[in-house]
Amino acid sequence: MKNDRGDIELAGVCKSFDGATNVVDGVNLKIADGAYCCFIGPSGCGKTTILRMIAGHEDPTAGEIVIGGQNVVGLAPVQRRTAMMFQSYALFPHLTVRENIAFALRVRGQSKADRLRAADAMIEKVRLSQFADRLPAQLSGGQQQRVALARAAITEPRVLLLDEPLSALDEQLRVQMRQELRRMQQELGITFIHVTHTQLEAIALADLVVVMEQGKIKQAGAARDVYARPHDRYVAEFMGGQNVLSGRVEKVNGASFTLAQAAPSGIEVPLQARANVSVGDKVDIAVRRDDVALVRPGRDLPPGCTTSLPSRVLAIEYQGYFVKVMLDTVPDDEFVAYVPEKTFFADPFTVGDVVMATWANGSALPLA
């Protein structure tokens, strides 16, 4: 009875190492079979612990971990049919690339000829044929990463767990290997669970992004949902690309409400289904940095914009296709506008200029 389904369900999973504080605190999550799922959060948020519990290297203090419909708590990694790719790879330094990849087959008692044939096929897949007889120390970081991936994938697991697989690589290689991971995932057609602390990595790869903080899931959803429609201030700030502002609700008018701000006009915010606000509430809102337009004082606002917040330019960073303009719009929080390069250089600002920050009324998003 071989069950190839790699869907995962975490139900009330808790983990405590000292019996007092929960490193992972009541996590519930469903991951579809064949999905690419990224856990993201700052270090110490429990994401690696979750990964290790799914892998079977750590037992949950409470809760169930169900893979393919079967509760796997207490089972060995082999019985779970999961495979893990370790941070910094943990390749066996005394074994060649081929022997490293064939290791799992060797301990499963496969004959030498069989396992070397399987290993060679896998080596082909990760394009390491000419390095098959080298030791790990003789490989570059990217090659080592491919060996680690091949070693984990050779047992045909139904779930592959990757613990910060790209953190040991330099920037350029990281982007390249990111694509390779995605390609392998599609080729193998199995569930990948990837732990990272890099936002870009998560949204570039994942079908399902899980944002964590202090052992709890803050938001789980498609990359675009998490990035463009964050639930709360934490997710918005962690995923980046958003300006977060807070203020008191001045009036609620039908489909939108107005947030009191230093600005004379206030801020128009569309009411979302979930935002149940009344006058006087303190509310956080998010505005995407690339939705913010900057207008010189006295000029007309672009159509559809009623909010305009007077700001001073604090710093300017050229980023290539856009220019990052840092403003003092809100007293305590960072406020940044990503201005397209061509727009910026048509009428460039300098540090110290006073500008009006504005955005289309529909683009402000109330946060929970």
Part of the chain binding other proteins (CB under 8 A), chosen from 65-73, 102-110, 188-196, 235-243? 102-110
The pattern of x and - marking residues 112 through 141 that bind other proteins according to CB under 8 A reads -------------------------x----
**In 3D, which of 39, 41, 78 has the Cα closest to residue 57?**
78
Strand order in the sheet with 62-67: 24-31, 8-15, 62-67, 70-71
Tokens encoding 205: 């790869």
Beta carbon nearer to other proteins, 92 or 318: 92
Beta carbon nearer to other proteins, 137 or 346: 137
Q: Please give the Cα distance from 184 to 30 (Å, whole number).
A: 22
The verdict on 98 binding other proteins (CB under 8 A) reads no
Near other proteins by CB under 8 A: residue from 66, 75, 90, 168: 90
The verdict on 88 binding other proteins (CB under 8 A) reads yes
Q: Please give the Cα distance from 111 to 117 (Å, whole number).
A: 10
The verdict on 188 binding other proteins (CB under 8 A) reads no
Q: Please give the Cα distance from 163 to 57 (Å, whole number).
A: 13
Beta carbon nearer to other proteins, 20 or 137: 137
Which ranges of 108-155 does DSSP label H, i.e. alpha helix? 112-125, 141-153
Measured from the CB of residue 101, what is the shortest distance to other proteins in angstroms?
Answer: 10
3-state secondary structure of 51: helix
Part of the chain binding other proteins (CB under 8 A), chosen from 90-98, 234-242, 253-261, 333-341? 90-98
Q: Please give the Cα distance from 220 to 209 (Å, whole number).
A: 6
**In 3D, which of 163, 165, 189 has the Cα closest to residue 58?**
163
Beta carbon nearer to other proteins, 62 or 135: 135
The verdict on 264 binding other proteins (CB under 8 A) reads no
Near other proteins by CB under 8 A: residue from 48, 49, 144, 155: 155
Q: Please give the Cα distance from 244 to 336 (Å, whole number).
A: 10
Measured from the CB of residue 92, what is the shortest distance to other proteins in angstroms?
Answer: 6
The verdict on 219 binding other proteins (CB under 8 A) reads no
The verdict on 19 binding other proteins (CB under 8 A) reads no
The pattern of x and - marking residues 42 through 81 that bind other proteins according to CB under 8 A reads -------------xxx------------------xxx---
Spatial CB neighbours of 237, under 8 Å, sequence gap ≥ 6: 244
Q: Please give the Cα distance from 165 to 161 (Å, whole number).
A: 9
Beta carbon nearer to other proteins, 95 or 260: 95
Measured from the CB of residue 159, what is the shortest distance to other proteins in angstroms?
Answer: 12
Beta carbon nearer to other proteins, 107 or 262: 107
The phi-psi region of residue 12 (left if phi > 0; otherwise alpha if psi is between -120 and 50; otherwise beta) is left
The verdict on 111 binding other proteins (CB under 8 A) reads no
Q: Please give the Cα distance from 66 to 354 (Å, whole number).
A: 57
Q: Given the rule CB under 8 A, which residues bind other proteins?
A: 55-57, 76-78, 82-84, 86-88, 90-94, 103-104, 106-108, 137, 151-152, 155
